[in-house]
Structure 1
Amino acid sequence: MKLRLLLISFIIVLFGYNAHSQVTVDNTLTVQQLVEEYFLGEGIFVSNITFNGLPADSAFIQIGLYEGNGSSNVIDFESGLAMVTADAAAQITGEGLVANPVDTDNSGNGYGNDDSDLVTIANPSGTSFNVNDAAILEFDFVVVGDSITFKYVFASDEYPSFTCSNYNDAFGFFLSGPDISGPFENGAINLALIPGSDTPVAINTLNSGVSSSPGNESNCAAANPNWVEDSQYFVSNSGTPFGDVSFPGMTQTLTAAANVIPCETYHIKMAIGDVSDQGFNSGVFLEAGSFELEGDIEVNLSPTIDGAPVTTPGFENVLIPGCSTIDISITKPSCLPADTAFIVYGGTAIQGEDYEFLNQEDSITFFPPNINAITIQFDILWDGVPDENEVLEIYVIWVNLFGELDTVTASIPFIDPYSISSETEDVVVTCPADQVQIAAQGLDGIEPYYYDWIDNLAGEDLTEVMVDVPPDSVYYLVGISDQCAFEVIYDSVLVTNNIPPPLQATIDGFTQPECTNEPVGLHTSIQDGNGEYTIVWTDGNDNGYFPNENITVQNINSTIVFNPDPIGYTEVLPVYLMVIDTCGTIVTDTIQINYPFFEPLTANFTPLTDNCPEEPVVITSQPEFGAGDYFYAWEKTNGEFGVGADLNASFIHVVPAGGMNNYTLTVTDFCAREGYSYNYVEGDSGDLFSGGLAVYEDSLRVIKLDKIMNIITPNGDNRNDFFAIEGVEEFEDARLEVYDRWGKLIFETDNYMAGKPQIKTDNAFDADGFGDGTYFYIINVESGECVTSGTIEVLRGSN
């Protein structure tokens, strides 16, 4: 059952299509008939027509007359020539299409073979594809104009299946002749180009913008880098109903065009062929009557006023009674044999009432030898009767290239005298100026306009003039007329003085810095002037500051190098202010910031020299330099501070302990405490120091002569086993002498080291070899600086 339904469907498609066919192709007409009666426009002379190299007085199945019969959805012209690489009628209508035999020996089927230009098109990259089934129409033509055009559609069975494939069917319009130089045979150029480009029309250059499979996009891109964008010129025919053109894809209607030299003979070859295969056909449709040349005799009507062409839009193609004249120029091609033209004047305009001749009234015009253009002049009269429907018509009759009478017609309407208008713009002066420009503009008339500034201003007859800025408001009057001067109208410009008082800007008072690197805030007061202000701050070190009314100048002296004098230090910093208003008025102001310079702060305190003080020691600070208003901080590593001592005072009471006492003084000045200190580099060390902070350290060796023990118990229990003198170990010349009760010296040393009760030194006195009892000692430290004497009891007792 399924096979039966498929067979029925195929029969309906195959035979039903013929019943509903609407487009037709007649390939029974001779090629000469097709070219001369259908393809050519009026007045074009052609010769040497051939098809596939054979005379044009025969019909060929590859070329015929296409008729759309009002039903084609893909080709937008109704009729024309159709050339196909197969039976034209069968291919286009889809009726009886079979594979094409290749005519290699002109055996009778009329199919063309390899053509050198088609082979060049088919092998752009040096391949060797052959061309089959070519359809080639050629003829010569004489050009009486300076350009040719015709319209066409290229179609192919290779759409869309062979888009971006390795080969495409070949196609081109090859024009050769005078002043033509191209890469094809006889120096021809190809007119079948994608609009706006030099790219030839082909399957890979103009398509749907989508590659087929197994096509490769690189093939299309190589042939036309804009192939996707140019898909706008492609028409898909995949959904076309029966009765329309059967090609599955084609171009839109395109135009082939070329500039040519009048009166010269040119040759055109219109060729299309299958490349490599015979089964996928291509065709080209040429719109009927579209092969046109720009004509024989030309008539141009040029209105003039005072001898100059009218160029004002709206008036360039009309006649104005009482104002304009008209130049009628008649131009013929140099190759046109006629030297006489007959002129007939018509329309509703009447000679003598609406116009009169200025240089010729004859209806017969002769072209002098070697002269191809003549001009006739009329003056356009005003009869006082408005009539907007008057028209002047000119008919020029001559003998054309074929010996036949031909006619060209031109016409131009009259318009009645008109009224002009004007446009002005009042001026409000908001910026300081002595003069201001005012302007008036004539409208609705014919340029140039004429201006009469009533107040006798300089620049009369100018649309723009300069006037003095008035104290308040003044009207300036102007009379305006145009080139025809039918009337003078009056307008005015109001000039109003709205200039504000002059711009003023000053830098407000500020507090000079107390520190070397103290930020300084500045503010400007601005008044008057016009509109928004642009504020520019800079300083003497070429630093710029963010445009604002307020700025902070800081980090000017962040680091100073002493080597030995300060380098990079700014003592006086000028700061510049510039304020600009919207009128461009500029005012400036300048101030100076005076930065104090301080030598880097140093800290010191009184020397510590009393090695055996009996009272608390007073240490007094001795800072120098810096910014003053010092702040002190005392630290110690031994002993005690005096009762009630102020650790932040400029002096401190200390109670040293025996041994080594270390004292540290840290001083900061006012600027350092405010965070405005600076760093400095002294000498070549490269080390950074704070200019507002200094630290001083010193030590004091103390021997405690007021706390010497008077009893020792050398019994080996490690408690009071020897004579210890607190702090004596810090002195190298501590002499100790010990005597018995009879005054006999029993012990002496010049470097007594037993200063710590827990550590017994080698020369500690422990009464070894002497009995219990009372002994006398003398201590002399630092050669007499600290001297004392006393008694010591030796009591061994029991362990």
Structure 2
Amino acid sequence: MMKCVKIILFYIFISCAVFDATAQSISVNDSYTAQQLVENVLVNSSCANVSNFVVKGDSFSGTRNSYGYFNSGTSNFPFAEGVLLSTWSSKNSEGPYISNRGGGNSSWIGDSDLEQAIGITNTVNATILEFDFIALTDFISFNYIFASNEYQDDFPCNYSDGFAFLIKEKNTASYINLAVLPESSTPVSSKNIHPLINAIPNSTEPIKSCGPENEFFFGGYNTVTSPINYAGQTKVLTAQTNVQPGKTYHIKLVIADQRNQYFDSAVFLEAGSFLPKIDLGSDRLLATNNPICFGESYTIDTKLPSSLGYTYKWFKDNVEFTNNSPTFLVTSPGIYKVDVQLTTSCVATEEIKIEYTPEIILNDTSLTQCDIDNDGISIFNLTKVDAIVKNNASNLSAVVYYESLVDAVAKNNPITNPTSYSNKFNNQSLFARVSNSFNCANYAEVKLIISNNAIANQNPISTCDTDGTNDGLSQFDLNVQVTPQVLTGLHTGLIVEYFLNHTDAIDQQNVLPNIFKNTVATQQIIYARIVNGTDCYAITPIVLKVNTFDPTNFQDETLFLCQTGSINLTVNSGFSSYLWNTGASSNTITVTSPGDYSVTVTNFDGCKKTKKIRVDVSGIGTITGVKVNDFEGNKNSITIEYNGIGDYEFSIDGSFFQDSPMFNGVAPGEYLVYVRDKNGCGISIPYVAYVLDYPRYFTPNNDGYNDIWVIKNMDDLPQSTLYIFDRYGKLLKQLNETDNGWNGTFNGFALPTDDYWFHLKLENGKTIIGHFSLKR
């Protein structure tokens, strides 16, 4: 039982939905004649003089027409009523949209004028509405919508039914098609107006994809709730053209299928939209970037000749002006309207909105430049006054300069080198052109003036070379060292810029940094440009001098002060001032303590030089002992042992001094050794040193030479004992420090030539052993 109730409710719902869809559909009456369709529907006004009505269409059904009158009823169709031309029975155009329906017949022929107008072939099922009209104004138009069942699958990618609104002057041969995309010659069709067509996945048919074409004009796809029975439609479009008032024209409205008779199309013409119209042109609005420029006048023109004898009423903001003329001169913004009495019973009305751009406020100004050679001619950078001319407005165009106002207005002969323009004469006037975003222009005068301000000769600016290189190069702080002198006596508000050469100063290019190091040693000329806002007040040369100061004998040094003494620190005389770090101001000071001293001398150019003197303490050395290496023959040595704070040199004879305290290859004997301070603080008390050695042989032959073998200076070795042995170890002689030596005898007998040995036992227990030869 419940299942039956659901079925009944479903069918009631479907019935209601179908009824509702039907109620929201357009209605079509296909019994209207050609004259009724034109006079009573399309024109529906006394303002059109129409005649010679013809309508042709469905030639096979016998009872149905492919043309008719439509009314939107309560549906949302854009036109309330109008004329319908289709490629099937016009009644089939009533909604809702039902897919896969078609009509027509192959015996229902197409139209050759349509084929020629839009470049297609093989048309069938053509519906045509024709009539003549006499133009009362210079402009006609009517509104329409194109709808088609070809707005499905990939049909718009491949082909389209065709239609055209053809017009020609009567009794002439060539038609013009008005059913084209705005501002183009492209015919309106489903192939030329559609969105993106995507391939259908898993389709049994190969569906082609293609990109959108003029998608803005596509009105959308239809559904079961659509008021018309077509798959899709365009937005409301307008067919329009200019005509000549008083002439007779022939209109032919035609639509046809291309090849396939089953996918039908229709064109809906809005009722009352075919009327003589006045074209005053598009609104001149800021929002659409075509307003009237401030200060300009604009002529609103109906383009209707005075010879027609029409009567005109002009209004601004609904206030009527006395002006029975086809044109009206506008000088202020507003909504302007004209009523044109075309016939006793017909008045054509049109209005246009006029807006003006804001005024471009510019400033006349002047630009002053300095002159190199006083001939009244110089180089000007015109762009320096751009901001002044434009009143600092950022929304204006770049400034373009001209030599005459006529050229500026005509945009002829612009100055192409505004950053380096050479004036033709003093006080020459140029003209600046500036435009806004609407291409409206205004003009300002710029006067070029040559400065004649006199500047006193500048004193050289001197500094000292203080970087230690003494190369004649030094840094100048131009703002501190030069600018105050340049601006002395001049009015306030001036600034100074510096340049390497006169040309740069004129062109105001390559400005020197404030901290400037001269590039020419010792002396260099730079140029000061005195600037007053954008103007050059004057240019004057500035001599920069770098004084070098390198006194002789002024190197840093180290001196030595003897203990408990004093020393004089002295630099050359002849400078303008001296300043020691002790506070003294003479060229010589006396110091009694070590430390770091410095003196800064100043010459008569004001340049300073500082010398540093390190004073170290020194003193006489003290010998604390002598280390002797003896009994080594030519390897005997003396090493002096000492202490002290000085820098010392050493001697073992009081005459020759050396840096090392060690003396090598010292002969046996007695020595007085010394330590002497190199810094002049004195010499030590002498110290006695002995170097002992023994003869390597002796010849006791009583010739008075080398007859005794003796160790020299043995008497300086108290409590030492000397033992002499033969080669077999037999003791031959024992001597002490008081004995004179050995004469080569034993028990009164002379010993033979041979080698003999000795043992010298010293007081400290050390024993020295050696051998020598006795020769006869």
TM range (shorter): 0.3 to 0.5
Work out which of the two has the higher radius of gyration on C-alpha atoms and give 1 or 2.
2
- TM (normalized to structure 1)? 0.45
